[in-house]
């Protein structure tokens, strides 16, 4: 039975239906609010606003739960591969062996990037940030791979191309930024091993694939694969609602992810930890993070939805310990991170504000151990988030009730003002 919320406004009373999700979370359906009452809602930053219904990812920020298509992320991190998790997110179910094999073949067949795109790469200034390059190049893919006539085939091909080529493009930007020869993808390697080989193989030092590193990368990407209506995903849905190509929508998602308050935080965390290690400035950093007059924030801490530990962070931290041990690496930044976490967790400011480490707090240390340079960290996040963006985009395009996303506003500027000719001003 539908529940209603009663709204009294002026002399009238309205009934707004309550929508209930499959995990019991509730929302007031305000889709007829303006037509019935003349009112709109105001929710800066959308902290109380659901932009859609979705059956892809469930998260509970109070309990620290994250599930993709109902499966706990902990189980996927332990048993699945990034490729299989991508299939799950995009197609809504785990693949059979045959489906997974077909998926692998498709990804292998589409892993090369058009040779002419290399000219583009070569012309970016060497100092360009790889996220800017990736966002531009993903949008440019449309020009190199024009639209197919059959809509279903077009969507499937675009999805496959993006998933496969993003690795090649990311590794290519790294190689070119170093002035090194580009390494081509290999059909005999798995999704993650292929990426690592394209990043690190060189004519003078062949890359030796280490299964512990491959496993770590699989887990890293699984943990980033989707996170419901976060900033970049909302960008993908919003831009996609104008019926742009999937390439353009993903390009917008990459641009949004780049921001330091979102995916760019993983780079910012390492920069912050390095700063603490170099200048012994732990106390100063904590002081600045708590100072209301200082815009500085403790990077890798806090989350819009999680008001407890981010479940991804727990897995990431465990993996960080295991990987460093297996590779016999001592990273002084890990000690700094653990000390900072302990201090923050005992500090009233952070506990009162429900600020706990998020996924980005330890992810940079994992990436450093794998050999990924700091300015590629957010690119690594983008590769991981791609299946989530695609799944969310597909869901939005298939929604029979989907509309152009177009929020409203409350105007607070001047009322009608006459134009004054320039000589009279
Ligand atoms: N350090 C210090 N104070 C913080 C932090 C932080 N990292 N995060 C939030 N706060 C404080 C704010 O100053 C504010 O304090 P006040 O209420 O006393 O004014 C309060 O906590 C609430 O902050 P909001 O910005 O309103 O919270 P919001 O939910 O919008 O912020 C965000 C979430 C953007 C992630 C924030 O916690 C932050 O900036 N964290 C640092 C950047 C970061 O790690 N981002 C990665 C997030 S995970 C991801 O995108 C993959």
What is the CATH number for 13?
2.20.28.60
CA atoms within 13 A on the CB side of 280: 0
Instruction: State the total domains in the chain.
Output: 2
Per-residue pLDDT at 79:
98
Ligand 1 centroid to residue 269 C-alpha, Å:
14
Q: Which atom of ligand 1 is nearest to the CA of 353?
A: 21
Q: What domain range includes position 14? A: 3-50
Report yes or no on 141 lying in a domain. yes
- Given 303, 335, 348, 353, which residue is catalytic? 303
Are the beta carbons of 94 and 87 closer than 8 angstroms? yes
Are the beta carbons of 221 and 364 closer than 8 angstroms? no
> Is the beta carbon of 63 within 6 A of some atom in ligand 1?
no
> Is the beta carbon of 299 within 6 A of some atom in ligand 1?
yes
The answer to whether residues 33 and 158 belong to one domain is no
CA–CA dist 148, 21 (Å, integer) = 37
What residue's CA is closest to ligand 1, atom 14?
A: 353
Q: Which DSSP string do the residues of 120-172 spell out, in sequence order?
A: HHHHS-TT--HHHHHHHHHHHHHHHSPPPSSHHHHHHHHHHHHHHHHHHHHHH
Per-residue pLDDT at 126:
84
CATH number of the domain within which 263 lies: 1.10.580.10
Q: Which atom of ligand 1 is nearest to the CA of 301?
A: 7
> Is the beta carbon of 265 within 6 A of some atom in ligand 1?
yes
Mean pLDDT by 10 residues, the chain (425 residues): 94 97 97 96 96 96 96 98 98 97 94 92 88 94 87 89 96 89 95 97 95 97 98 98 95 96 91 94 94 95 92 95 94 94 94 94 94 94 98 95 94 98 97
Per-residue pLDDT at 122:
85
Report yes or no on 407 lying in a domain. no
Report yes or no on 218 lying in a domain. yes
Report yes or no on 423 lying in a domain. no
Per-residue pLDDT at 255:
97
Report yes or no on 418 lying in a domain. no
Per-residue pLDDT at 154:
86
Global pTM value: 0.94
Tell which of 35, 50, 65 closes a domain.
50
The answer to whether residues 42 and 87 belong to one domain is no
CA–CA dist 42, 410 (Å, integer) = 8
- Given 360, 398, 399, 418, which residue is catalytic? 360
Written as six digits, the tokens of 126 are 């060497």
Ligand 1 centroid to residue 18 C-alpha, Å:
30
Report yes or no on 361 lying in a domain. yes
The answer to whether residues 280 and 366 belong to one domain is yes
Per-residue pLDDT at 149:
80
Ligand 1 centroid to residue 405 C-alpha, Å:
26
The answer to whether residues 82 and 40 belong to one domain is no
The answer to whether residues 9 and 144 belong to one domain is no
The answer to whether residues 229 and 82 belong to one domain is yes
């Amino acid at each position: 039975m539908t529940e209603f919320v009663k709204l009294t406004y002026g002399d009238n009373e309205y009934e707004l239906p309550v929508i209930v999700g499959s995990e019991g979370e509730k929302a007031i359906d305000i889709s007829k609010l303006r037509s019935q009452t003349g009112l709109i809602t105001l929710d800066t930053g959308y902290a109380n606003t659901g932009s859609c219904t979705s059956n892809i990812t469930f998260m509970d920020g109070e309990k620290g739960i994250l599930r993709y298509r109902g499966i706990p992320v902990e189980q996927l991190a332990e048993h699945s591969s990034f490729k299989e998790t991508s299939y799950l997110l995009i197609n809504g179910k785990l693949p059979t062996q045959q489906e997974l094999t077909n998926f692998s073949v498709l990804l292998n067949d589409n892993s090369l990037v058009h040779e002419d795109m290399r000219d583009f790469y070569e012309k970016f200034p060497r100092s360009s940030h790889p996220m800017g390059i990736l966002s531009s190049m993903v949008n440019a893919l449309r020009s190199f791979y024009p639209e197919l006539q059959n809509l279903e085939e077009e969507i499937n091909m675009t999805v496959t191309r993006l998933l496969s080529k993003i690795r090649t493009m990311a590794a290519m930007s790294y190689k070119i930024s170093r002035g090194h020869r580009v390494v081509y993808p290999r059909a005999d390697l798995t999704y993650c091993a292929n990426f690592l080989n394209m990043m690190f193989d060189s004519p003078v030092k062949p890359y030796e694939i280490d299964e512990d590193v491959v496993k770590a990368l699989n887990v890293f990407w699984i943990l980033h694969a989707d996170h419901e209506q976060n900033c970049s995903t909302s960008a993908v849905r919003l831009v996609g609602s104008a019926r742009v190509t999937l390439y353009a929508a993903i390009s917008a998602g990459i641009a949004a992810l780049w921001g330091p308050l979102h995916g760019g935080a993983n780079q910012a965390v390492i920069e912050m930890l390095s700063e603490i290690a170099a200048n012994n400035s732990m106390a100063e950093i904590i002081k600045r993070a708590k100072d209301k007059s200082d815009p500085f924030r403790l990077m890798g801490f806090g989350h819009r939805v999680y008001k407890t530990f981010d479940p991804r962070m727990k897995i990431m931290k465990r993996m960080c310990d295991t990987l460093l041990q297996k590779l016999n690496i001592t990273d002084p930044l890990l000690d700094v991170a653990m000390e900072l976490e302990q201090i923050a967790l005992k500090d009233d400011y952070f506990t009162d504000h429900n600020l706990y480490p998020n996924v980005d707090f330890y992810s940079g240390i994992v990436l450093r151990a794998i050999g990924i340079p700091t300015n590629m960290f957010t690119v690594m996040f983008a590769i991981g988030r791609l299946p989530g963006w695609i799944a969310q985009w597909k869901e939005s395009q298939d929604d029979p009730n989907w509309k152009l996303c177009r929020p409203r506003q409350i105007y607070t500027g001047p009322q009608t003002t006459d134009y004054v000719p320039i000589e009279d001003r």
